[in-house]
Amino acid sequence: MVARKLLTATAVGLSVSLLAQHATGAETLVVQKAPLVTEFVVDTQLFRTEIDGYVRELNRQMRTTLNEDLRRELAPKTVLASNELRTRS
């Protein structure tokens, strides 16, 4: 009876391990490949021209905005002298 229990446990363990090994062997291997490298050729003169144009336009916009802000701040302010008894000349 002890031999039968040991033999049954051994047979079950052996069959499970063989099935498990077969199952892992049947899995497909996933191979990850590096993405294809594409080369970009940039004309340096065109690049510099576009960057210069962008910087000039940005400077123009900033100057316009700052001038508008400065005009608003330096606008003449009207002060009413309602509390003063006499006006200074």
- Convert the pLDDT of each residue in 3-58 to its tens digit: 666 667 777 776 767 666 555 555 677 888 888 888 888 899 999 999 999 999 99
Query: Tell me, what DSSP letter sits at residue 80?
Result: -
Which residue is listed with tokens 């004309």? 43
Burial (CB count <10 Å: 0-12, 13-18, 19+), residue 73: exposed
pLDDT of residue 59: 96
pLDDT band at 62 (very low <50, low <70, confident <90, very high): very high
69 and 75 Cβ atoms separated by less than 8 Å: no
Tokens of 54: 């962008």
Domain boundaries along the sequence of the chain:
45-74
pLDDT of residue 34: 84
